Amino acid sequence: MREDLRDGSVRLREPTRAWVTQCALSRICGVCEGGLGRPIAFVGTPRERDRNQFHQPPMHLACAEAVRSGDQVVVTTAAFEFLRPDRDDPDPAPRFEPSAPV
């Protein structure tokens, strides 16, 4: 979900479970809420990239580039899996796994 700042820039809010679930199931962009095509972009930390699991919802590439901060990376994919962790998972947050590199 985006937050518009006074200087005209935008940034990402901490994603809520309800929001990322809605983005996943409706296949909408986490920034502008428009329908997703391809490629699908994810914004995350280098660590999320290395793990291939992202906590922010899927986005249009242009939206992802607009909201990424300096220490974040953008990864593109043609498809993703939506992971809903079970009780034993050390990371309880739902997340996305890019599954079809472009």
Residue ranges that bind Zn ion, judged by CB under 5 A: 29, 31-32, 60, 63
- The residue among 48 and 64 lying less far from Zn ion, judged by its C-beta, is 64
> Measured between alpha carbons, how far is 42 from 70 in angstroms, rounded to an integer?
15
User: Distances from the Cα of 35 to the Cαs of 6, 72, 84, in angstroms?
Assistant: 27, 23, 22
Nearest-CB residue to Zn ion?
29
3-state secondary structure of 80: strand
- The residue among 1 and 32 lying less far from Zn ion, judged by its C-beta, is 32
- The residue among 32 and 73 lying less far from Zn ion, judged by its C-beta, is 32
